[in-house]
Structure 1
Amino acid sequence: MESIAHIRESDHKIQSVEQHLLDVKNLAEQYGEKIGIKHIAGLAGLLHDFGKFTLEFKAYIEQAVFHPENPPQKGSVDHSTAGGKFIYDLLHSPSSTPYERILAEVVGNAVISHHSYLRDFIGPSLNSAYLKRVTDSEGKLKEYHFSKECFYRYAMSEGEFAEYVNKALVELKSILNESPKQIFFLSKYIFSALIDADRTNTRQFEENTENVSSSYDRLFEDYYGKLNAHITTLRESDQADHPINVLRTKMSEQCEEYARKPSGIYKLSIPTGGGKTLASLRYGLKHALTHQKQRIIYIVPFTTIIEQNAGEVRRILKDDHNVLEHHSNVIEDINEDILEEQEEAEQNKRNKLKLARDNWDSPIIFTTMVQFLNVFYAKGNRNTKRLHNLSNAVLVFDEVQKVPVHCVSLFNEAVNFLKNDCKSSILLCTATQPSLQYVTRSLDVNAEGEIVQDLDIVEKAFRRVDMIDKTVDGTMDNEDLADWLQYQMDVTPNILVILNTKTVVRRLYEKLKERNVPVFHLSTSMCAAHRREQLEEIKTLLEKEAPFICISTQLIEAGVDVSFQCVVRSLAGLDSLAQAAGRCNRHGKFDKRPVYLIDHAEEKLDRLKEIEVGKRIVSKMLVDLQQKPLSHGGNLLSNQAMEFYFREFYAAFENDVNYYVRGLSQTMVTLLMSKKKNNPYVKEYLSKHQSHLPLMIGASYQTAAENFRVIDDITTAVIVPFEGGKEIIAEFNSGAWEKDTTSLFKRAQQFTINLYQHELKRLSNESGLEVFLDGQVFALREGFYSEEYGLDLEGAGGMGDLFL
């Protein structure tokens, strides 16, 4: 039999099934070898398209390619079940060892799921989607034995395969003996290795290119030289002897020293304005060179600071090509499973769209916390395929205190896996370190893991503001606030006001504008390019010390390099207040400047629970300071105050940190990581069937993924007609986008906003949206985007769109 895995579009050359299986096996082995599971990952690669060894599939793909006028029903031939059934039949019998059964389940689930997502071993209906597929009780796989015969004849002999399975079993015993609770993460890693290997080999065959291994050692050496040259320039500057710069240099040097230590989880508690980006880059490059790490990945909380931080790194390293920015997805995960199932019969347009998606194979990557958590827990194979590239890497978490509270346990477990099993080193960067090691599923921070020495002394040296409690005067509405701000402008030339919701930000902006006060507006209703343009104008006015007010949501707090002479902050969590203080007198140009804390009467925080709880804790701390001035270190910005705040904060959310899924009355942690006997569905299965679930693993992978959202409110990326966004929308209209999809989608990221479902519905009803690529890409029509506000629909608050 001449088997067919793929037929190249350009010249109709055939890739045989055996060649594809062996090629994918080799790639998966490379990915798995990084964490000691070369043969487990390779086994998944070897079996994933086992079911293409059939006459039915051969006829299907020939009909699809050579007779497009009469194509077969797409996805009508099941080619992914057979490989999972094969390994199940081989290793999952009454006489099999527990390790053989686990291997069959882990590898088999990856194989049957490689065009969708990992199946439940047990689900809410008390059925096993995995077991139903691999037992093939209805005899749907008519050519199963023929596939088995072809596999042994063309791909790997029976004896060689048995030897290969034994090597995989040795690896499995080793990793489970060291980390017995890591079956979920092991399953996800193998799935990632398989997905990326399969897609990569398919792309290489289609493009007729060879596999090139990614090694960035020489590039990192070049980067390290450029970084040292930059550091030398700073040391030779006129301001090098300024006390603040001396401290910055000292902390940077401490990062260099710590980089020589073994991989682990370390804290970098550099105060705001302390040179965090430079110091963390110094650690990352030195550690990568010392311990042969493959890449450096920056994970930031907000999309708003990716470009700025990436730009700074590009400037230092003098490289515009190799620093990848991964923002929110311009193309949503809509119909991902269908898209993957159709790959053999895809239209050229769809293929180009798939090939444009990245797998994070770059030396330096900037991405968001949402994207990081999606890699481990969200559905969609393009999320999962990036996971293996998080291994043997340096991960820098910027503003780590912004981990959403319901994801704290999931975050801790994922990071612990990367440290303990994936040989990665993790740097927790923030001026406001959260107490992640004090929750039940704690973060495994290294002993003596704080890089910055004499932290209290450093914090006091960088203190450039006075926190002034105006809440003692009662609440303020926008009318009161506008009056007070006008008075304050006689004392201070420039003022930054940060409020908690987009609604009150816009209304205050309009009120001040009516009074002819020079005022700027910033919110996530504006695309990144629009905000950047506004910020450049703001920075110019700040340099001139011109009188104006900037009204913003919290997007301006993290990583935006602006320095106002006065900041007004509506009460929120202490970490937010500290970040707001970092936008005041940022470079110590003046004596201490005021940061006023106010209680805004018009903010509706009922849907912003974390802000509401944080506000309540800070209010209590302010009362403590009024009654006992030396409490909490005598200052809201002290390390003692921050530790107290986070302990109280996580205690308030004790029942939420494991990600409770209300619709299921279960936690995500239970569904994914609990022992089999602790999964309530397993207990209910026993009660219902009077027999035990005949599997070693009792987890609910698909159910968990379908219910996982980092941000509770689902948002959709929409391209807006602001400056270059108009050109991008025109390219989608003309079809010119097909020429260079990767470049176009990258450019589009700067001209997108993220809309909630009610906003999408309203825009759709008012004909405010254009839709491209069968609903995969959305764009805002002219007239629905304002040069002042961005989206011309009044927002009701929430920061979900900021994180994506």
Structure 2
Amino acid sequence: MNYYAHSSDNPQKSWQPLVEHLTNTAELAGFFASKFNAKEFGFFCGMLHDLGKYSQEFQNKLHGQNLKVDHSTAGAQEAERNCGKLGKLMAYCIAGHHSGIPDYGTIADNGGTLSARLAKKIEEEYSAYKDEIELSFIKDLNALPVKAIGDFHGFTLSFFIRMVYSCLVDADFIDTEQYMSEKVKLRGHNASISELNDMFNNFLSKMGSSQTKINSKRKEILERCLSMAKKPTGLYSLTVPTGGGKTFSSLAFALNHAVQHNLERIVYVIPYTSIIEQNARVFKDALGDDHVLEHHSNYQFDLNHSEHIKTATEKLKLAAENWDIPIVVTTNVQFFESLFANRSSQCRKIHNLSKSVVIFDEAQMLPINFLKPCLLAVCELVKNYGSTAILCTATQPSIQDLLPSDIRPIEMMENSKQLYNDFKKVKVINKGNLEDEVLIDELNSLEQVLCIVNTRKHAKEIFSRLKGNAFHLSTLMCPVHRKETLAKIRKSLKNNESCKAVSTQLIEAGVDVDFPVVYRSMAGIDSIIQSAGRCNREGRLPVGNLFVFQPVSELAKIRGYLERTAKIAEMVLRRYDDPISLEAIDYYFQRLYDIEGEEAVDRKNILDCFEEKRMHLGFDFQTAAEKFRLIESNTYSIVIPYDDTAIELLNTALYSPYPRSLARKLQPYTISVYEYEYKTLMKNAALRVVNNSFIVLDDYKSNYSNNTGLILPKDTYGEGIFV
């Protein structure tokens, strides 16, 4: 009898033989895993993952019978039966290669936990595999190629399982795709890191810059990064003041370092989608669009172009599935939620983080409630997977105590304190309590000024009372709207025109604007420093002024973590003449971690999922994935029919049999609201549902302002903050 892995509309003789699929998947998974010295483990999983397809029931299913067949448990059981504890680790990968890596559970479970799967009596006979597969390769499965980081033995083992799982599911997807689709021909064929490094050096040589003191210092930072690129792989910190050119310098380090150590890709991780396009554009200008993948929720792959561009775009779309491309620009959310996910579609990319350079831009914005598991994941990549990680920031947080004792970041700059003094272009002035009337009078007295506040409600109120050429930015405006507004702000500043802007903190992280004066509502020192980066950015003035104030208005009330960080910042402002000096920053983060307590850096107890039952190799992957949400999901996405493109997409969605296929294209027109805001909007008949797929703003002219975005009913304007 012939056994097949997949069926198709073609004659049976063209179906893929099962032994061919198992062998192909095993060899490819082994190749992927060989990059972290785990070739045998990848091969092992590949050969066993579809063993259950040797049952007559599964073959009948391929021939059209409506049967539900569990084809993954058999391989998981064979793994444990033939290879004991090491096989049990691999059983997680095999059992979950479709449904996701399971929790450990107990043998009493009825569901899909690993314990239940391993104890399950398999009804279907699958022993026919013995006629085509010899399990003698299992004897090559030796000791694990990873070493525990600090005392986190369970985390190290679970991370290894996750990486091998990634190798398996990516190999499985690719081999199936090779049989099913012509698109597989578009995969790979990338420029080498060495070629990209040459392109980048050529780009830098052509960049013209005036001979100012600032540009001279930027050049020194770049040269220092290039010299550090020769150092071994590891964990590095790059503490460069705002405006010091760390985007170019960190990329220069990464490319040269990757060439030096034969690393395969560079992953640039950014805190917010609101700034990712700006950084990605810099990389694309330097290296070409075809070599840079933007992977975040707002990006859409536009296939409406010439055949050449369409092919290149399709290639990028495929690369987004597994990050098989030299340069990836992504977000904290996409990066870390993939590392802690358990579903195959999210996990298939993470094996490509081995032998990579990972750059964390604005590292101080790593989420504090998940900071410890995030840092441990970064340490795993560095210690066991041949990667280098760089923590880039103007405000290096005090994270030493959160790292394993055997891993310490190496600072790339020789004299960060001197650099800070060289780039000091802003004076911070504490104005204390400030009534809105006084604040607005001061803002209106200035020609060019930026005011950054903590709540959307406060931003809208201040904007409504500004005179002259005024602009508003908040996440009540859809991304396309915000992008247009930023372009107008930059144009006004460039033309030396009057320009008054009020924004929530979304403007802080990496948004390239340069105001002579900035006002900042009291917030954490890291936010205040980011605000300073929007003031006198290019050093055109002897000094720019950053006024920090404590708003008296009820509209500015903040609670929880933001309130606590603001109170610590007040302490810093009282204690230090220069509250954004390196000493002040260190004091701020030390106080923050002391006040928040150790439990704050793993608020959801993610590490317990991998440490509590480690002696039994019991890891709760599904539970960890459900807990690990950097953005809580008690929000609703609303599509704004902002322009003709959005309206056309919504009209297409209305009649499409697959409306969700348009979700990514509609993302730039989407905003998030809290549940209570959503309910009130629905109650007021301000929303409609399109084809059971999208919540859309109705009566655009009444419910959306071309200045401030979504108009929320007055009774919904709560304290919620989106940045």
* Same fold by TM-score greater than 0.5: yes
**Mapping of 1:402-441 within 5 angstroms?**
402-439=365-402
Paired residue for 2:194, among 200, 215, 221?
A: 221
Q: How do residues 261-410 of structure 1 correspond to structure 2 at under 5 angstroms?
A: 261-317=231-287, 319-328=288-297, 358-410=321-373
Q: Does the aligned pair in 2 maintain the 1:770–1:781 contact within 8 Å?
A: no
8 A Cα contact 2:609 2:620, kept in partner: yes
Q: Is residue 498 from structure 1 mapped to residue 479 from structure 2 by the alignment? A: no
8 Å Cα contact 1:500/1:603 also seen in 2: no
Q: Distance in 2 between matches of 1:781 and 1:749?
A: 17
Q: Report how far residue 799 of structure 1 moved.
A: 4.9
Counterpart in 2 of 1:562?
513
Contact 2:76/2:91, CA 8 A, preserved across alignment: yes
Secondary structure at the residue paired with 1:191?
helix
**In 1, Cα distance between the equivalents of 2:494 and 2:630?**
38
1:478 aligns with 2:436: yes
Give structure 2 stretches of 5+ with no counterpart.
Answer: 301-316
1:637 to 568, 577, 580: 580
Task: Decide whether the 8 Å contact of 1:416 with 1:443 is kept in 2.
Answer: no
CA offsets 1:782-804 (integer angstroms, 9 cap, x no match): 6254422233336645455x5xx
The equivalent of 1:650 in structure 2 is: 593
Cα distance, 1:176–1:252 mapped onto 2, change above 3 Å: closer
Q: Per-residue deviation at 1:602?
A: 3.4
Where does residue 4 of structure 1 map in the other structure?
4
Distance of aligned partners of 1:755 and 1:248 in 2 relative to their CA distance in 1, 3 Å threshold: same
2:530 corresponding residue in structure 1: 579
For each residue in 1:529-560, what CA deviation from the matched residue of structure 2 results, as whole angstroms up to 9, or x when unmatched?
A: 21111011101111222223111011101111
Structure 2 counterpart of 1:34: 35
Residue 215 of structure 1 and its aligned partner are, at CA, apart by 6.5
Amino acid in structure 2 at the alignment position of 1:308 = Q
Following superposition, the deviation at residue 124 of structure 1 comes to 13
Indicate conservation of the 8 Å contact 1:502/1:796, yes or no.
no
- From 171, 175, 193, the counterpart of 1:197: 171
Unpaired runs of 5+ residues, structure 1, are 65-71, 92-99, 332-353, 626-633, 662-666, 678-695
Deviations 1:467-515 (CA, angstroms, capped at 9, x unpaired): 01001xxx334344223322xx2xx311101001112111222233xxx
TM-score under structure 2 length normalisation: 0.89
Q: Structure 1, residues 3-52: CA drift from partner, whole Å, max 9, x if none?
A: 23222357774122222211211221121111011111221122111111
AA aligned to 2:709 is G
Offset of residue 210 of structure 1: 5.7
Instruction: Check whether the contact 1:409–1:441 (CA below 8 A) recurs between aligned residues.
Output: no
After superposition, give the CA deviation of every residue in 1:603-662 in whole Å (9 maximum; x if it has no partner): 67887533212111111122223xxxxxxxx4112111111111111122223344233x
* CA displacement, residues 51-77 of structure 1 (integer Å, 9 cap, x when unaligned): 11112112223226xxxxxxx36xx22
**Per-residue deviation at 1:588?**
0.5
Counterparts in 2 of 1:481 and 1:50: CA distance versus 1, 3 Å: same
Q: 1:672 aligns with which of 601, 610, 620?
A: 610
CA deviations 1:540-584 (Å, max 9, x no partner) are: 111222223111011101111100111000111101000001101
Q: What percentage of residue pairs aligned between the two structures are identical?
A: 31
Give runs of aligned pairs for residues 437-586 of structure 1, distance below 5 A.
437-439=400-402, 444-446=407-409, 449-471=410-432, 475-486=433-444, 489=445, 492-512=446-466, 516-586=467-537
SS for the counterpart of 2:338 is helix
Among 123, 127, 135, the residue aligned to 2:119: 135
Relative to structure 1, is the Cα distance of residues 404 and 725 closer, same or farther in structure 2, using a 3 angstrom cutoff? same
- Matched to 1:3, the amino acid is Y
- What is the TM-score normalised by the length of structure 1? 0.81
Of 551, 562, 577, the match for 1:611: 562
2:545 and 2:222 map into 1 onto residues whose CA distance is 29
* Structure 1 residue 358 displacement after superposition: 1.7
C-alpha displacement of 1:209:
5.8
Give the conservation status (yes or no) of the 8 Å contact 2:440–2:465.
Answer: yes
Question: Residue 345 of structure 1 corresponds to which residue in structure 2?
Answer: none
1:408-458: per-residue Cα shift (whole Å, max 9, x none)?
101110000000011111111111111111236579334xx1112221111
Answer yes or no: is the 8 Å Cα contact 1:326–1:368 preserved in 2. yes
Query: CA contact under 8 A between 2:273 and 2:298: conserved in structure 1?
Result: no
Q: Distance in 1 between matches of 2:677 and 2:478?
A: 16
Q: Which one is further off, 521-530 or 3-12?
A: 3-12
Tell me whether 751-760 or 104-113 shows the greater mean CA deviation. 751-760
1:122 aligns with one of 84, 105, 124: 105
Give the Å deviation of 1:322: 2.1
SS for the counterpart of 1:709 is coil
Matches within 5 A, 1:660-739: 660-661=603-604, 667-674=605-612, 676=614, 696-715=616-635, 717-723=637-643, 724-735=645-656
Distance 2:64 2:299 in 1: 33
Asked if structure 1 preserves the Cα contact closer than 8 Å seen for 2:187 and 2:318, the reply is no
CA distance in 2, matches of 1:584, 1:658: 31
Q: Counterparts of 1:198 and 1:754 in 2: how far apart (Å)? A: 36
Deviations 1:221-266 (A, max 9, x none): 33222322232234x64x1x31111110010011111111111111
The match for 2:314 is none
CA deviation vs aligned residue, 1:745-793 (integer Å, no higher than 9, x gap): 6644433333444444455553624445x64x65545625442223333
**1:107: which partner in 2?**
90
